[in-house]
Structure 1
Amino acid sequence: MRETRDQQLDGRLVMSAAAFAGSEPVAEARETARRFLTEVQSVHGIPVSDHVLGMVLLVVSELVTNAYKYAPGPCLLDLAVGDGVVEISVWDTDPVLPVARAADVGRVGQHGLEIVLGVCQSFEVRREPVGKRIKAAILLADDPNGYPPGHLA
């Protein structure tokens, strides 16, 4: 895995990591996300609750797993914090855009995109000159009204 650490880009904290088709790309991507959010909190003083950390790790796992399973070649994970959200972006080499499947209680597996759509504030998929990019955003606030962790309304 190749990593670029903690840059400032348009006022956002950004880190990128390329997880190539090695033996553990999903575990490496999750650890990259965990380190990034730990640094966001400890170095930059932006609160990140355990709940938000868990949701980010879940979304990173689902998106990188899909890239690893369906796209030949590398995938690129970009993480950013800004405007009260954690932005997760995964690029891969497969131009086929994912589609959420219809609900089916009898289906085992293949619920990843449904899960991602259910926990994210926003979700976007677009084709790139090579492959596609999926972007998802998770609120940093645990409160449904958008208050940061620890805020008393």
Structure 2
Amino acid sequence: MSASQASHDDGDGCSEPEEHLRRAGYALDGDGDCIAEARHHAVAFLEQAHADHHLMASARTRDLTQLVVSELVTNALKYAPGPVLMELRLTAHVVDVVVWDSDSMVPTARAADPDRIGQHGLEIVKAVTAELLIEQQPVGKRITARIALSDLLDTAGHRPG
């Protein structure tokens, strides 16, 4: 896979252009194994990035990436009819989880409610990611969640200092 140059106008809305070392896209069919399959793709993606580019994602980053993938794909399957697409993108500092679905309704995190059962997915994703962007598309919406590869990066995906 060749590297490509991200830019401010590549449509993901995330800050700071940076070269993608690796990108991979997946069409998820929505069957019962779809969410587990998406998590498996995320782990394999990070392992291949380590093999190809010697970039080591921390154990925390691996866990958070799987959690974010699980939450975003679950929400897409639950609320949107039709296909779900997932793209994983890697720079030297962050992994982006991008999920597209066919529902144009932009979700919002709900206010904290200890009595509410379920519907905490977006709250969780916002809490564990460095950056979260939700964009309406001509058809549906795209959600981009950015996760730092190292526990030593600040919330914008940069090394403090």
TM-score, normalisation: structure 1:
0.88
Where do residues 112-127 of structure 1 align in structure 2 (5 Å cutoff)?
112-127=121-136
Aligned-CA RMSD value: 1.7
Where do residues 53-72 of structure 1 align in structure 2 (5 Å cutoff)?
53-72=62-81
Which residue of the partner structure matches residue 23 of structure 1? Answer: 32
Residue 110 of structure 1 pairs with residue 105 of structure 2: no
Which residue of the partner structure matches residue 48 of structure 2? Answer: 39
Which residue of the partner structure matches residue 88 of structure 1? Answer: 97
Q: Give the gaps of 5 or more residues in structure 2.
A: 6-18
Structure 2 letter corresponding to 1:15 = A
Which residue of the partner structure matches residue 107 of structure 2? Answer: 98
Q: Is the 8 A contact 1:25 1:68 kept in 2?
A: no
Structure 1 residues 73-114: Cα deviation after superposition (integer angstroms, max 9, x where no partner): 110000011151111100000111111001001111111100
* Inter-CA distance 50–139: structure 2 relative to 1 (3 Å threshold): same
Q: Is the 8 A contact 1:7 1:15 kept in 2?
A: no
Structure 1 residues 19-53: Cα deviation after superposition (integer angstroms, max 9, x where no partner): 01222111111011010001011221011111100
Q: Percent identity?
A: 42
Q: Is the 8 A contact 2:55 2:92 kept in 1?
A: no
Q: Which has the higher strand share?
A: 1
Structure 1 letter corresponding to 2:147 = I
Partner of 1:110, secondary structure, is coil
Which residue of the partner structure matches residue 149 of structure 2? Answer: 140
Q: Is the 8 A contact 1:33 1:60 kept in 2?
A: yes
Q: Distance in 2 between matches of 1:104 and 1:31?
A: 32
TM-score, normalisation: structure 2:
0.84
Aligned-residue offset at 1:7 = 4.4
